[in-house]
Structure 1
Amino acid sequence: MCPAENRPAHLEPSELGTKDWDKLYTNEISNHAADPSDVGTVWFDDSDAEAKMVDFLCDLADADADADAGSGALTKPATSLLDLGCGNGSLLFALRDEDWTGRALGVDYSPQSVALARQVAASKDSTADAVEFREWDIIGGPTDAVLDGAQRGGWDVVLDKGTFDAISLSDEHDAHGRRPCEGYRARVLRLVRRGGLFLVTSCNWTEEELTTWFAHGGERPSAAGEDGGLEVAGRVQYRTFSFGGAKGQTISTMCFKKI
């Protein structure tokens, strides 16, 4: 967890942090049943974030192959993928379309989200059918529910496209008065294998703020740290804009490596 004095200021709570996602996904299940081409909401589609995340991982895999990076390298046939807050599963399907054929699991706390993702998978080819979907609470669910099989020691790549955003907008508090976003980094750390990657996309946090949340500003953990730490391993470039003399972008995607 980021020390309070180093942590970015909390976002103001919003309906998106407490939204009844089951209602949305129930509607999208009906829409997809009537029209299989309607797969529902693809978050950050207006920024082409999904395609950019996929391209970023493909570039890493190509670079590892060119460098003969050894057993820790990303390879499309073997890399395991865990999508936190998978929604309709579109990100994992997009990776399948680019021949990422290792184990892929999408998790979401909304049972209707999982039902939609499975329904979309069933309407696709057999490659998409191989994607797993499971109902799981990212904040409160037991981690051994997703740390199983060959991934008992963690996943090669953990993905987040908007989930940290939604969690950051929740106004819930635990027994210690902490909001859910304050414990998210620790949850992610347990899910990523040593040397694995966490790729997160946000429209609410800047690159610098994401770095503060997840990498402690680049500070390395002590050797005794059981779950290690995260360090910046890359970023996705988006179109920038200028306003009032300042330059920025509407969305941020950062890649962190577990050390």
Structure 2
Amino acid sequence: MSESAQKLLDPSELGTKEYWDTAYARELSNHQDDAGDEGTVWFSESNAEDAVLGELSKLGESGLLHRAGGDETAAPSRFLDLGTGNGHLLFTLQEEDDDGNCWSGEMVGVDYSETSIQLARRIATERGTESVRFEQWDLLNGLPQQDWLQDGFHVVLDKGTFDAISLMGTEDARHPCEVYREKVEPLIKPGCFLSITSCNWTKAELLDWLAPTSGQLQYYSEAKYPTFTFGGQTGQSIVTLTLRRVVQTSD
């Protein structure tokens, strides 16, 4: 399906920077009053973070990603979290699982909301987390030449950011959804991964947007969530996909 044939969602205040600045200013104020209140964990009702970690663990077991204490010849995998919010997903990656494993590579969280970054940095300081870096950066409008980009990331994480972008209004010829893929692809090392979680789009719709035949991203795997049946149709309320950036070969 071509981008022009894609359906678009109606614009919403959830697609505006003003909405998120206000939301994170409120969460920052709440955290200042109560250090135990670190703000919203998106898709927590669906255990999305567990699903994402499960998919990353499979990649690690396959030797496609590397944790601490693994293959000593490979550096730990680097992570970039788009629309990081309060940074919760990156903090969770650093926590040890039941087997004592954690992800220890460099982690960068970016968000276009300054108050989001203030909140994430404050939480990182209070947690004593020094290996996570948070930077204010606009994916759609920011320049890619950032010092933290280096030669790309092994994993780019998106837990609801494409959803918010889907709700943006625009007066341009191209909707931000159409710009997203070309902005994300260069952030991913060739052969490495985008993990995207959405409640606005189905698997097929996400693949139409992000993995067209003309693009560099290809479907790799899907996390499993509980399904429901309504009107004879079976579905789920959330989807997490892993897409892989193809390695370009010269003829």
TM-score (norm 2): 0.89
Moved over 3 A (4+): none
Counterpart among 113, 116, 119 of residue 116 in structure 1: 119
AA matched with 2:219? V
**For residues 91-135 of structure 1, what are the alpha-carbon distances to aligned partners after superposition, in whole Å with 9 as ceiling and x for unaligned?**
00000114211010000000000000001111113xx22100000
Q: Cα distance, 1:202 vs. partner?
A: 0.3
How far has the Cα of 1:90 moved from its partner?
0.3
Residues 1-150 of structure 1 mapped to structure 2, 5 A cutoff: 3-5=2-4, 7-18=5-16, 19-64=18-63, 73-77=64-68, 78-98=76-96, 99-125=102-128, 128-145=129-146, 148=147
Shift of 1:3: 2.6
Q: Name the CA distance, whole Å, in 2 between partners of 1:157 and 1:252.
A: 18
Q: Is the 8 A contact 2:192 2:244 kept in 1?
A: yes
Structure 1 residues 152-194: Cα deviation after superposition (integer angstroms, max 9, x where no partner): 22111000000000001001233xx111111000001011110
Query: Where does the alignment leave 5 or more consecutive residues of structure 2 unmatched?
Result: 69-75, 97-101, 247-251
Task: Give me the whole-angstrom Cα distance separating, in 2, the residues matched to 1:255 and 1:173.
Answer: 31
Equivalent residues in 2 for 1:225-240, closer than 5 Å:
229-240=216-227
C-alpha distance in 2, partners of 1:173/1:114?
28
Matched, 1:186 2:193: no
CA–CA separation in structure 1 for the residues paired with 2:171 and 2:111: 20
TM-score, normalising length: structure 1: 0.86
CA-to-aligned-CA distance 1:190-238 (integer Å, 9 cap, x gap)? 111101100000000001111111111xx3x5xxxxxx60111111111
Secondary structure of 2:195's partner? strand
Q: Distance in 2 between matches of 1:193 and 1:56?
A: 18
Q: Give the aligned partner of residue 224 of structure 1.
A: none
* Cα distance in structure 2, aligned partners of 1:132 and 1:80: 12
> Does 2:251 align with 1:252?
no
Task: Determine if contact 2:190/2:245 at 8 Å carries over to the other structure.
Answer: yes
RMSD of aligned residue pairs (Cα, Å): 1.4
| C-alpha deviation, 1:22, in angstroms | 1.4
SS at match of 1:97: coil
Query: Offset at 1:4?
Result: 3.2
Say if 1:74 and 1:245 are closer, same or farther in 2 by CA, change over 3 A: same
CA distance in 2, matches of 1:181, 1:4: 9
Structure 1 unpaired stretches of 5+: 65-72, 222-227
Aligned pair partner of 1:214 in 210, 214, 220: 210
Counterpart contact for 2:3–2:209, Cα < 8 Å: no
Amino acid at match of 1:195: G
Which one is further off, 232-241 or 15-24? 15-24
Structure 1 residue 58 displacement after superposition: 1.5
Verify the 8 A CA contact 1:173 1:180 in the aligned structure 2.
Answer: no
Distance 1:202 1:134 in 2: 23
| Count of aligned positions | 233
Letter in 1 for 2:51: K
CA shift, 1:8, in A, is 2.7
SS at match of 1:254: strand
Q: Quick one: distance in 1 between partners of 2:230 and 2:188?
A: 37
Task: Say which SS state the counterpart of residue 205 (structure 2) adopts.
Answer: helix
User: Within 2, Cα distance between the matches of 1:165 and 1:20?
Assistant: 14
Q: In the aligned structure 2, how far is the partner of 1:26 from the partner of 1:57? A: 31
Percent identity over paired residues: 44
- 2:120–2:134 Cα contact (<8 Å) kept: yes
